[in-house]
A and B are shown apart, each in its own frame.
Chain A
């Protein structure tokens, strides 16, 4: 009995529960910081929490996990985000 250990079906929140999902991406969002008006819509709509909101409400992309859905670019009211193919001539 002593060697027994309880194996419970319990998990803890952690990034990468499905691995480095950045590898799923065909297109990557590239933010033109000069155009950005810090409205935070991309941050709000991002389904992945991979738009990083900084202290001054400027934003950047967590490319390790961003799946490249493109919602941020679609919702950006000033077209400050461009979806760029990951592979030249590919995707």
Chain B
């Protein structure tokens, strides 16, 4: 894993942008810049990151950006990559940077199409687990039990496992990452940048506003999601599936921190009953059982 001291000093995020304090998306954008540097070109559909850029004629994000309508990130990125390649700009890294809605809901069709065509782009889902930009409405990636402004008594369904659907597309690279572990994310981005074809990275991004926690705790909550075993860091690379070293200890259930440590930091889970927490705990166990098996299958 890259050492923090060796990370580039250049900033690809501009101070004075429009993100809320403690925003995980600006953290993620900084890591994209650190990993890909001057080669990165972003395609951003409607999302918090459309707003984070701030007000014309300035931009709070220091990378070239093509903003695009909500459902079309993967398609616009496909075309942009084609053009840059035809024009001989072989080193350009076209990165679709979309939220969980832009990825798993309204943008899912375009994403699936681009993945199936094996477009040579990096698609990053920055997953804050609800439609935060419009004010915290549930998405298909909102976890069970979470309060949102369209699930006042808690969501009744589980989180859609989008990265798993990308593995089902048999693309060359799928990885999960977390803003709590920036160097792991940067390593995965750098690896992705060397692979030709479709690369998908799902970045877990706890949102203090939408999840109702202290903005000082964005990284802490992100780390807890991994340490409780709720968010599993892994890589699927050319048919091989591997749980990342940072998550590997949590195959052993006894090594995982209690899930309540993660839950009690967040206001969106304040109303959960013991039975709800048991549902989430069962979900964690099932995820581990499944992904441990997957690791066996895709050795």
Point out residues on A near B: beta carbons under 8 Å.
9-21, 24, 39-41, 43-50, 53, 57, 62, 64-71, 73-75, 83
Max chain A C-beta neighbours (<10 A), residue from B5, B21, B22, B61? B21
Indicate whether A19 sits within 8 Å of B16 (C-beta atoms), given known contacts A11-B53, A13-B58, A40-B4: yes
Q: Which residues of B contact A15 (CB under 8 A)?
A: 14-16, 58
C-alpha gap A68/B214 in the complex (Å): 12
C-alpha gap A47/B7 in the complex (Å): 16
CB distance from B36 to the nearest CB of A (A): 15
Q: Which residues of A contact B14 (CB under 8 A)?
A: 13-17, 49
CB distance from A69 to the nearest CB of B (A): 4
Check if B56 sits within 8 Å of A11, measured CB to CB.
Answer: yes
Check if B60 sits within 8 Å of A18, measured CB to CB.
Answer: yes
Q: Which residues of B contact A43 (CB under 8 A)?
A: 4
Chain B 158-201 against A: per-residue CB contact (8 Å), 1 yes, 0 no?
A: 00000000000000000000000011000000000000000000
For residue B27, CB closer than 8 A to chain A, the reply is yes
Known: A13-B61, A16-B16, A75-B220. 4 other contacts (CB 8 A): A11-B53, A15-B15, A21-B17, A65-B16
Check if B58 sits within 8 Å of A17, measured CB to CB.
Answer: yes
C-alpha gap A62/B30 in the complex (Å): 16
Check if B15 sits within 8 Å of A41, measured CB to CB.
Answer: no
Closest A residue by C-beta to B56: A11
C-alpha gap A75/B22 in the complex (Å): 12
Check if B16 sits within 8 Å of A10, measured CB to CB.
Answer: no
A-B contact pairs, 30 of them (CB 8 A): A10-B56, A11-B58, A13-B58, A13-B59, A13-B60, A17-B14, A17-B60, A18-B18, A18-B54, A24-B21, A39-B4, A40-B7, A43-B4, A44-B7, A44-B182, A44-B183, A45-B27, A45-B219, A48-B15, A49-B30, A53-B9, A57-B5, A69-B208, A69-B218, A70-B22, A71-B216, A71-B219, A73-B216, A75-B220, A83-B216
Check if A10 sits within 8 Å of B57, measured CB to CB.
Answer: yes
CB distance from B55 to the nearest CB of A (A): 6
Q: Which residues of B contact A14 (CB under 8 A)?
A: 14, 58-59
Query: Do most interface residues of chain A lie in helix, strand or loop, or is the interface mixed?
Result: loop
For residue B45, CB closer than 8 A to chain A, the reply is no
For residue B267, CB closer than 8 A to chain A, the reply is no
Check if B16 sits within 8 Å of A40, measured CB to CB.
Answer: no
Check if B9 sits within 8 Å of A45, measured CB to CB.
Answer: no
Check if B57 sits within 8 Å of A75, measured CB to CB.
Answer: no
Q: Which residues of A contact B220 (CB under 8 A)?
A: 74-75
Check if A18 sits within 8 Å of B17, measured CB to CB.
Answer: yes
Q: Which of A21, A46, A70 contacts B16 (CB 8 A)?
A: A21
Q: Which residues of A contact B215 (CB under 8 A)?
A: 69-71
Q: Which residues of B contact A41 (CB under 8 A)?
A: 4
CB distance from A38 to the nearest CB of B (A): 9
Check if B59 sits within 8 Å of A12, measured CB to CB.
Answer: yes
Indicate whether A9 sits within 8 Å of B56 (C-beta atoms), given known contacts A40-B5, A62-B15, A65-B16: yes
C-alpha gap A65/B55 in the complex (Å): 15
Q: Which residues of B contact A44 (CB under 8 A)?
A: 4, 7, 182-183
Indicate whether A74 sits within 8 Å of B216 (C-beta atoms), given known contacts A15-B15, A17-B17, A21-B15: yes
Check if A11 sits within 8 Å of B57, measured CB to CB.
Answer: yes
CB distance from B54 to the nearest CB of A (A): 3
Max chain B C-beta neighbours (<10 A), residue from A40, A43, A45, A50? A45
Q: Which residues of B contact A11 (CB under 8 A)?
A: 53, 56-59
CB distance from A24 to the nearest CB of B (A): 7
